[in-house]
Amino acid sequence: MSQIILATGRYAQEPYLMNKFYSSLYSVEELCYFLVDKAELLDREVMQPEMIQWLDEQCGLNQLAHTLYAMLNQKASAAAFAGTILEYVGLYDEETIARTEELIRSNEGLSPYERRKVKADYLLQNRKYYGALGQYHSILAQMPETDRLLKAKILHNMGVACAGMFMFRQASQWFMQSYQTVQEEESLAAYLAALRLCFSEKDYVAFISEHPEYHDASLKVERRIEQAAGQFEGTDENRMLFTLQVFREEGNNSFGSAAPYYHEIDELTAALKDNYREYVS
């Protein structure tokens, strides 16, 4: 968490633990930062008597605590609860507070399974692919079969998680299940893109020839791949690959050395391994 300048109340001797987010808070400013940063994941669970007690006893914010206790007893909304804290501290402008309240308010209208999906989506967006997959599996096992739209969205995101871990064949299976549940063109395109990445070009062309119903979708996928390739040309990753090619060519001539090339390859491989471990943690 970024460093917060303390301006309201006092620094807590004992932190308030947000266990679901693995966060320890030591000041009301840190709490405000948390509410704004995690707004899309919050619901009524954030309204805990323990938090109010912590603000009262550890941060010395008796007036704020009194107001929050009243809101808790009156069954106020989580959006209003968070907004009251943010307005009292004054760390953020009115626009940020309003946006935070709106994000929290949107969660309060979701079903329990939709709220769990939002939290799994957060893991997915932060490239915690393995953790997201576990959450999605759990939701599918417990949600009613009648909610086909939510099921399709979860299946699609499971495909995204597998693709993020380079498990393209498994990703294609989840994308197809999503498409079969609700005929969403985006899932079909993702299915074909995953096959495009795990098949050889010859096998992929043969597959499309055997499935003429996918022909139009496959053309859209090819256009997307071409666009992605064009965008990749200007990236740091592409410049790094060009540099590696230069190192290799210099190492292959009679006056050069392959050492720089292999050194860079080792560093690149190590970085990719670290990233992959993070994805599957």
pLDDT in tens, 243-266: 666 656 665 554 455 556 566 666
Q: What is the pLDDT of residues 29-88, one digit of tens each?
A: 999 999 999 888 888 889 999 999 999 999 999 999 999 999 999 999 999 999 999 999
CA–CA separation, 54 and 77 (whole Å): 20
**More confident call, 218 vs 21:** 218
Q: Which residue has the tokens 């190492």?
A: 251
Question: Residues 149, 182: contact at Cβ < 8 Å?
Answer: yes
Structure tokens given for 87: 């307005």
Nearest to 178 by CA among 151, 198, 204, 202: 151
Q: What is the pLDDT of residues 90-144, one digit of tens each?
A: 999 999 999 999 989 888 778 889 988 988 898 898 889 999 999 999 999 999 9
**More confident call, 244 vs 206:** 206
Q: Which residue has the tokens 């109010």?
A: 52
